[in-house]
Amino acid sequence: MFTTKLTTLLALPLFAAAYINDVQQFSGTYTATPTTSTFPVTFNTASTKVEFMDLSVSFGIAARDDHADNTTLGAPLNNVDLIALNHANTGPGSFTVDVPISASDLYAGAGSYVLTAAVLRGTGMSGVLTFRADSFSIPFNATIADSDA
């Protein structure tokens, strides 16, 4: 047991930099309520040799028909500060953020939507990063509930 722990500690520096490389797809139907419903978004992270820092994620929602390509953000929902949440440089793994999507965000009513996560990140030389944005899409079907559960 002690050996395993020690090995883990020693191995950590090898995974010093990690960045969001994928998002897990949603299965089933999302139910939007008037105010309290949230959509769980799970990001997968992978290790890199070059320095990467994921700074923030901006979430947007678009009806399926309005989602032209991977530069479509749609209607803005909210921003998540990955530095404040300690997810800027996580090592390989995954983490989940809950995105508030209420009934009024489903601007085309119940139906098919695409949730877009636009990740702003810095990469390059430590301390002097350059930035870029990458988008990750989650298609989902939604229904509307009359009251908060």
Ligand X SMILES: *[C@@H]1O[C@H](CO)[C@@H](O)[C@H](O)[C@H]1NC(C)=O
Considering the rule CB under 6 A, would residue 143 count as an interface residue with ligand X? Answer: no
Considering the rule CB under 6 A, would residue 71 count as an interface residue with ligand X? Answer: yes
Considering the rule CB under 6 A, would residue 51 count as an interface residue with ligand X? Answer: no
Total residues contacting ligand X by CB under 6 A comes to 9
Whether 134 contacts 121, CB under 8 Å: yes
> Which of 7, 35, 79, 112 is in the footprint of ligand X by CB under 6 A?
112
> Which of 120, 134, 137, 144 is in the footprint of ligand X by CB under 6 A?
134
Sheet strand arrangement including 75-81: 29-32, 128-144, 111-125, 51-63, 75-81
35 in helix, strand or coil? coil
Residue type, 59: F
Other beta carbons less than 10 A from residue 90's beta carbon: 21
Considering the rule CB under 6 A, would residue 140 count as an interface residue with ligand X? Answer: yes
Binding site for ligand X (CB under 6 A): 70-71, 112, 133-135, 139-141
